[in-house]
């Protein structure tokens, strides 16, 4: 112990304390503070960068999801539109068909009515002519009968042949 | 290019591992040659100058070399030639307070061989403890019969010794490295560059693994400067001790004492109510026990930094002694097998010493942080005890 105490040197102690305390103060000002600040700043920077990268990723994901959703909606809308168009087309065709049928029916009806009326008119005409002709024939026959028998027969035959030609 | 591709840590570790080998080997080879030649010379001569007995054989020369290495010295010598007495190094300023200020160069002592005169007073460096004593003109040192220590008057010694130069060097190196590291951040957009860059992970480690867990998120910032400075200071001086410079600063009791003293001061000056409450009036134990515990806890205040001081000092001191003794064995064996064995052993020990250098710096910082943490801890008695 005495040997240890004897090793203690006050002058050296003085210099050591002086140099060491000076070193601490100088290093604190010129080294440790800037170094630790820089390191802290850098760590904060890295932390922030990571955070913002994560945020960007999240945003990107949201954006992508949005896009997906919008795309989906557009697709759905397109499908709906197509479906509507198809329905409309079918309806129009069906409508047109019905209309045409109705029209046709109407025209047929009209035609039938016209034909009937024409037919009736023709029949009336025919009846009139037949009766006139019959009367004419009968008149001539009666006239010939009175004069010539042969001539009458010939006349009848001739008239009958005329009628067939007619 | 291959080296550049390796991890930086590996390169640094390899470099550091090689340093002490180169260093101690060189130094010892020099002195060994000298020792061998000189031992013959001394034997032939049969006497030498100076009042104290200098070692003559290789064994005691190595012992003397080792025991002088671990002490502080008043000049900075890298190696010396015993035969001519020539020494390569440089003298350091001596500053003494002895009834007035005495300033002169340590060259006056001629490496402890001569008596230096200043303002009419005579001083001599005692060979055994490397300290300066006031003597008469012939340089007589009288030893106390009982203790064996010199009884001469010791002036107050403010000399710039080898250790002061070393800590100054370490301080300047740290200032340069870390201020350049600090500047590189602003220059390089927040990313470290330059030679200080390799220390950034260590700085972060001290913050994240030592300061925050021990002191707490709220208050650790107040202690960061001290913890970082003390870690690198101890680490650099430990590593310096393994280089050829022959420095032994952290193996010097005064240095470790002052470091521990600062930890002691900071701990107790920043301590809060809870800390003192736990020392003098321990909560949660019966009243008679509190009276018994108080002196023990009070003693603990001093034992904690004392253990810091002794731990660092003893580890580094012992490491230097063991390493140098084993290197010295090479020159005692002087055979292929023995010398190469001790070379291998000293190689392994050098690597171990590098580990110890880092470990002791870590432990010192870690325990300081622990003590600071206990001083500022906020206790919740209702829940805790």
Helix/strand/coil (H, E, C) string of B150-165?
ECCCCCEECCCCHHHH
On chain B, the residues whose CB falls within 8 A of the CB of A38 are 182, 185-186, 190, 192
Asked if the Cβ–Cβ distance from B181 to A4 is below 8 Å, we say: no
Among residues B370, B221, B361, which one has the least CA distance to residue B305?
Answer: B370
Q: Does residue A15 fall inside a structural domain?
A: no
> Contact B77/B68 with Cβ under 8 angstroms?
no
> Contact B157/A11 with Cβ under 8 angstroms?
yes
Q: Does residue A22 fall inside a structural domain?
A: no
**B191 interfaces chain A, CB cutoff of 8 Å:** yes
Instruction: Calculate mean pLDDT across residues B234-246.
Output: 89
**A22 interfaces chain B, CB cutoff of 8 Å:** yes
pLDDT value, residue A17 = 93
List Cα–Cα distances, B8 to B14, B194, B199, B200, in angstroms.
10, 13, 11, 13
Asked if the Cβ–Cβ distance from A32 to B168 is below 8 Å, we say: no
**B168 interfaces chain A, CB cutoff of 8 Å:** yes
Q: What pairing do the DSSP bridges indicate for beta strands B101-105 and B93-97?
A: antiparallel
pLDDT value, residue B55 = 57
* B323 backbone dihedrals φ, ψ, rounded to 5°: -60, -45
Closest partner CB to B254 (pick from A9, A22, A33): A9
Which residue in this structure is represented by tokens 């067939």?
A164
pLDDT value, residue B357 = 94
pLDDT at residue B44 greater than cutoff 50: no
pLDDT value, residue B82 = 67
Asked if the Cβ–Cβ distance from A27 to B258 is below 8 Å, we say: no
Instruction: Calculate mean pLDDT across residues B65-90.
Output: 77
pLDDT at residue B11 greater than cutoff 60: no
Spans of all domains in chain B: 32-69+73-160, 163-376
pLDDT value, residue B9 = 63
> Contact B254/A16 with Cβ under 8 angstroms?
yes
Q: Does residue A10 fall inside a structural domain?
A: no
The shortest C-alpha distance from B184 to chain A (Å) reads 9
Listed as own residue / partner, the contacts of B112-120 with beta carbons closer than 8 Å and 24 or more positions apart are B113/B49, B113/B50, B113/B85, B114/B139, B115/B139
The shortest C-alpha distance from B229 to chain A (Å) reads 6
Q: Does residue A4 fall inside a structural domain?
A: no
pLDDT value, residue B310 = 93
Question: Residues 79 to 138 of B: which have CB under 8 A from any A CB?
Answer: 95, 129, 131
Higher pLDDT, A145 or B119: B119
On chain B, the residues whose CB falls within 8 A of the CB of A22 are 171
Tell me the sheet residues that pair with B96. Answer: B102, B157
Give the DSSP per-residue string, A57-115: HHHHHHHHHHHHHHHHHHHHHHHHHHHHHHHHHHHHHHHHHHHHHHHHHHHHHHHHHHH
ipTM metric: 0.77
pLDDT value, residue A48 = 95
The shortest C-alpha distance from A57 to chain B (Å) reads 26
Higher pLDDT, B116 or A45: A45
**Backbone torsion region of residue B214, taken as left when φ is above 0, otherwise alpha when ψ lies between -120 and 50, otherwise beta:** alpha
pLDDT value, residue B19 = 55
Asked if the Cβ–Cβ distance from B228 to A27 is below 8 Å, we say: yes
Instruction: Calculate mean pLDDT across residues B206-233.
Output: 92
**B28 interfaces chain A, CB cutoff of 8 Å:** no
Closest partner CB to A6 (pick from B149, B163, B207): B149
* B359 backbone dihedrals φ, ψ, rounded to 5°: -65, -45
Q: What is the mean pLDDT of chain B?
A: 80
**B148 interfaces chain A, CB cutoff of 8 Å:** no
Asked if the Cβ–Cβ distance from B224 to A16 is below 8 Å, we say: no
- Under the banding of pLDDT at 50, 70 and 90, the label for residue B261 is very high
pLDDT value, residue B294 = 87
Asked if the Cβ–Cβ distance from B255 to A27 is below 8 Å, we say: no
pLDDT at residue B17 greater than cutoff 70: no
Closest partner CB to B175 (pick from A27, A34, A45): A27
**Which of A23, A24, A29, A41 is the best substitution to test chain B (most B C-beta atoms within 10 A)?**
A23
Which residue in this structure is represented by tokens 């061989």?
B113
**A46 interfaces chain B, CB cutoff of 8 Å:** no
Asked if the Cβ–Cβ distance from B175 to A23 is below 8 Å, we say: yes
Asked if the Cβ–Cβ distance from B229 to A22 is below 8 Å, we say: no
Q: How far apart are CA B364 and CA B235, in angstroms?
A: 10
The domain tally of chain A equals: 1
Q: How far apart are CA A160 and CA A150, in angstroms?
A: 15
- Domain containing residue A55: 40-154
Stated pTM of the model = 0.71
Asked if the Cβ–Cβ distance from B229 to A2 is below 8 Å, we say: no
pLDDT value, residue B99 = 79
pLDDT tens by residue, B317-352: 999 999 988 888 888 888 888 888 888 999 999 999
Instruction: Calculate mean pLDDT across residues B274-281.
Output: 84
Among residues B152, B155, B159, which one has the least CA distance to residue B103?
Answer: B159
Q: Does residue A19 fall inside a structural domain?
A: no
**A35 interfaces chain B, CB cutoff of 8 Å:** yes
On chain A, the residues whose CB falls within 8 A of the CB of B226 are 24
Asked if the Cβ–Cβ distance from A19 to B163 is below 8 Å, we say: no
Task: Output DSSP code: residue B189.
Answer: T
Higher pLDDT, B79 or B316: B316
**B69 interfaces chain A, CB cutoff of 8 Å:** no
pLDDT value, residue A149 = 72
Higher pLDDT, B81 or B237: B237
**A1 interfaces chain B, CB cutoff of 8 Å:** no
Q: How far apart are CA B279 and CA B371, in angstroms?
A: 13
Closest partner CB to B163 (pick from A12, A34, A41): A12
Instruction: Please list, in sequence order, all residues whose beta carbon lies within 8 angstroms of the beta carbon of residue B350, skipping any fewer than 6 positions away.
Output: B17, B20, B21, B24, B242, B323
On chain B, the residues whose CB falls within 8 A of the CB of A16 are 164, 167, 254-255, 258-259
The list of chain A residues with pLDDT below 50 reads none
pLDDT at residue B249 greater than cutoff 80: yes
């Amino acid at each position: 112990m005495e040997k240890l105490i004897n090793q203690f040197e006050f002058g050296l102690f003085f210099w050591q304390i002086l140099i060491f305390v000076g070193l601490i103060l100088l290093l604190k000002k010129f080294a440790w503070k800037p170094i630790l600040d820089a390191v802290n700043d850098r760590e904060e920077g890295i932390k922030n960068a990571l955070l913002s990268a994560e945020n960007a990723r999240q945003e990107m994901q949201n954006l992508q999801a949005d896009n997906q959703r919008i795309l989906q909606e557009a697709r759905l809308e397109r499908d709906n539109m197509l479906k509507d168009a198809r329905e409309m087309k079918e309806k129009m065709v069906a409508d047109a068909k019905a209309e045409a049928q109705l029209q046709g029916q109407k025209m047929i009806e009209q035609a039938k009515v016209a034909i009937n009326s024409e037919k009736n008119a023709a029949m009336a005409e025919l009846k009139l002519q037949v009766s006139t002709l019959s009367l004419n024939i009968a008149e001539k026959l009666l006239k010939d009968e009175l004069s010539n028998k042969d001539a009458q027969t010939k006349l009848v035959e001739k008239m009958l042949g005329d009628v067939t030609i007619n | 290019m291959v080296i550049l591709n390796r991890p930086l840590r590996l390169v640094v570790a390899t470099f550091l591992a090689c340093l002490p080998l180169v260093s101690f080997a060189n130094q010892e080879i020099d002195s060994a040659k000298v020792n061998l030649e000189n031992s013959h010379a001394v034997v032939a001569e049969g006497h030498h100058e100076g009042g104290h007995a200098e070692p003559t054989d290789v064994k005691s020369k190595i012992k003397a070399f080792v025991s002088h290495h671990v002490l502080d010295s008043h000049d900075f010598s890298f190696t010396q030639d015993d035969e001519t007495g020539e020494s390569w190094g440089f003298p350091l300023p001596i500053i003494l307070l002895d009834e007035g200020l005495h300033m002169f160069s340590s060259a006056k002592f001629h490496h402890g061989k001569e008596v230096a005169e200043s303002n009419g007073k005579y001083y001599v460096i005692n060979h055994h403890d490397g300290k300066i004593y006031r003597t008469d003109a012939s340089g007589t040192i009288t030893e106390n019969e009982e203790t064996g220590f010199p009884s001469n008057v010791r002036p107050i010694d403010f000399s710039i010794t080898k250790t002061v130069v070393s800590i100054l060097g370490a301080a300047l190196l740290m200032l340069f490295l870390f201020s350049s590291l600090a500047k590189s951040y602003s220059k390089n957009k927040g990313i470290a560059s330059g030679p200080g860059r390799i220390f950034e992970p260590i700085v972060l480690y001290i913050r994240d693994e030592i300061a925050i867990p021990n002191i707490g998120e709220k208050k650790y910032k107040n202690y960061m400067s001290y913890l970082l400075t003390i870690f690198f200071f101890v680490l650099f001086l430990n590593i310096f001790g393994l280089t050829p410079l022959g420095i032994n600063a952290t193996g010097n009791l005064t240095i470790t004492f002052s470091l521990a003293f600062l930890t002691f001061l900071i701990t107790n000056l920043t301590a809060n109510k809870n800390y003192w409450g736990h020392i003098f009036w321990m909560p949660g134990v019966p009243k008679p026990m509190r009276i018994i515990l108080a002196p023990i806890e009070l003693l603990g205040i001093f034992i904690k930094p004392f253990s810091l001081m002794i731990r660092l000092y003893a580890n580094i001191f012992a490491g230097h002694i063991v390493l140098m003794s084993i290197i010295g064995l090479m020159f005692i064996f002087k055979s292929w097998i023995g010398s190469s064995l001790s070379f291998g052993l000293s190689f392994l020990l050098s690597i171990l010493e590098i580990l110890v250098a880092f470990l002791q710096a870590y432990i010192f910082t870690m325990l300081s942080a622990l003590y600071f943490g206990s001083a500022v801890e906020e206790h919740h008695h209702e829940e805790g005890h």
